[in-house]
């Protein structure tokens, strides 16, 4: 059975880009794979320097995952910092990672170009990500298209290490869903909190309506045909619509006579109905925070039992164990 691993940063309210880009398929994996799923709070520290906010966001992210259907009995679910072995492995890997490899990171260069003040953690982010993946003998890592290079860097690090010490690490494969690799935001760019263009999963109906109505469209008149393949609104609509509804909407676009305002109202109805049971689940979990902590603690213990085996293998190889 393939071992699947992925994580999400506790960076605030989850949006539909998080859900369709990673969370939905991750939760589906728990039924037919060995799923390792974690909240990457160490990674969040590269840009979040408020301890209270990080603490709050970590718990909120756990509640979100559980509300959306993650089953801790079918998967291993934990918080990154509860498995200290990952930091030890990260240091060992950093001693086997070339500076040039990190300097070529597209993600690092992109963040710097957008004005983020660089720090050593941001620069070495790919090494910690490699440690996250390699520590658990991961086979498959579902990622967005923008994270593809990080998987390649992980494979480069693992390959170099294995060439030096033997077959220590399992070589992971990245898995990218082309259908959901880039989820558009309300402005047409990639949906991201940093762009302020998200539609959040657990927003109230009034807020959802406000955001849906702000989805950017062109100025094509109501009566004219419209190209669904070039429409940001249609791209979001097709995430939720059933096959028959999607086919019907496409025909309406091509025929003309349907205004964007009408499509937005229909999208809003579908969106509210789609996430309704998850909102109800979330209310239940919010009422029992103690259970959330117990779930995360149990998950961390399971994760550590796997991590300890890998780390011993690594430490034996490099000569730290004596």
Looking at 190, 211, 226, 264, which residue is catalytic? Answer: 190
Residues in Cβ contact with 7 at an 8 Å cutoff, skipping those fewer than 6 apart: 37, 38, 39, 40, 43, 80, 132
* Three-class secondary structure assignment of the chain: CCEEEEEECCCCCCEHHHHHHHHHHHHHHCCCCEEEEEECHHHHCCCCCCHHHHHHHHHHHHHHHHHCCCCCCCEEEEEHHHCCHHHHHHHHHHCCCCHHHHHCCHHHHHHHHCCCCCCHHHHCHHHHHHHHHHCCCCCEEECCHHHHHHHHHHHHHHHHHHHHHCCCCCCCEEECCCCCCCCECCCCCECCHHHCCCCECCCCHHHHHHHHCCCCCCCCCCCCCCCHHHCHHHHHHHHHCCHHHHHHHHHHHHHCCCCHHHHHHHHHHHHHHHHHHHHHHHHHHHCCHHHHHHHHHHHHHHHHHHHHHHHHHHHHHHCCCC
Specify whether 111 is catalytic. yes
**Residues 37 and 72 sit within 8 Å (Cβ to Cβ):** no
Specify whether 190 is catalytic. yes
Specify whether 193 is catalytic. yes
Looking at 24, 74, 148, 193, which residue is catalytic? Answer: 193
Would you name the residues annotated as active-site residues? 111, 190, 193
């Amino acid at each position: 059975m393939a071992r699947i691993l992925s994580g999400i940063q506790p960076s605030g309210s989850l949006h539909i880009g998080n859900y369709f880009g990673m969370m939905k398929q991750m939760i589906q994996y728990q039924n037919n794979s060995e799923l390792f799923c974690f909240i990457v709070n160490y990674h969040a520290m590269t840009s979040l320097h408020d301890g209270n906010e990080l603490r709050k966001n970590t718990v909120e992210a756990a509640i979100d995952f559980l509300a959306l259907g993650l089953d801790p009995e079918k998967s291993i679910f934990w918080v990154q910092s509860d498995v200290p072995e990952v930091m030890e492995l990260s240091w060992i890997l950093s001693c086997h990672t070339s500076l040039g490899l990190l300097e070529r990171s597209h993600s690092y260069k992109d963040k710097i170009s957008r004005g983020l003040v660089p720090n050593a953690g941001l620069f070495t982010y790919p090494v910690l990500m490699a440690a996250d993946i390699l520590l658990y003998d991961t086979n498959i890592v579902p990622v967005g298209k923008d994270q593809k290079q990080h998987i390649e860097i992980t494979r480069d690090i693992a390959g170099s290490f294995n060439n030096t010490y033997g077959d220590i690490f399992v070589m992971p494969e990245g898995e990218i869903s082309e259908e959901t690799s880039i989820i558009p935001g309300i402005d047409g760019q990639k949906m991201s909190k940093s762009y302020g263009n998200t539609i959040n999963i657990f927003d109230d109906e009034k807020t959802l309506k406000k955001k849906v109505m702000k989805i950017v469209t062109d100025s094509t008149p109501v009566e004219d045909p419209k190209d669904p393949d070039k429409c940001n609104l249609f791209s979001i609509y097709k995430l939720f619509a059933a096959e028959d509804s999607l086919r019907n909407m496409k025909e309406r676009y091509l025929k003309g006579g349907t205004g964007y305002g009408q499509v937005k109202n229909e999208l809003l109805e579908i969106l509210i109905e789609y996430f309704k049971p998850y909102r109800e689940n979330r209310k239940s979990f919010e009422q029992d925070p103690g259970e959330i902590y117990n779930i995360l603690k149990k998950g961390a213990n399971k994760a550590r039992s796997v991590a300890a085996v890998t780390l011993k293998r690594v430490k034996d190889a490099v000569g730290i164990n004596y």
